[in-house]
Amino acid sequence: MVAKNKYIGSDFDDFLEEEGIRGEVETVALKKVIAWQFLKEMKKSHITKTMMARKMHTSRSAVDRLFDPGNESMTLQTLNKAATALGKKLKVELV
């Protein structure tokens, strides 16, 4: 008898929920998207991480933490400082 894969036909969110990791996976994915947006804007504006740190009045290592998806200490204040340093506004939405 061949064992059936219980996940065939289900959606990925169901799998993550059953494994108890949906929140963690979504948080890491969201942080990666935010980091990608900041990096994209920095590249567009020819701003290095060192320059970004100066504009944010912080250290280079603090900027590095902005791009670390494993860092759980990122605050809205830091994200807002980064956005302001790039001449952008931070927008947070619930969907």
Residue-range definition of the domain harbouring residue 77: 12-85
- 73 compared with 65, residue with greater pLDDT: 65
What angle, rounded to 10 degrees, do the helices at 49-56 and 76-85 form? Answer: 110
Predicted structure pTM score: 0.77
Mapped onto helix, strand or coil, the DSSP state of residue 43 is: helix
Kindly tell me if the per-residue pLDDT of 2 is higher than 70. Answer: no
Q: Which two tokens stand for residue 38?
A: 């900041």
**Tens of pLDDT along 68-92?**
877 877 889 999 999 999 999 999 8
With respect to residue 7, please indicate whether it lies within any of the assigned structural domains.
no
Residue 76, domain CATH: 1.10.260
pLDDT attached to residue 88:
95
Whole-angstrom CA distances from 36 to 33, 53, 93 are: 5, 17, 18
Q: Say if 48 falls within a structural domain.
A: yes
Residue 33, both tokens: 């998207």
> Residue 71 and residue 25: Cα distance in Å, rounded?
13
Q: How many domains does the chain have?
A: 1
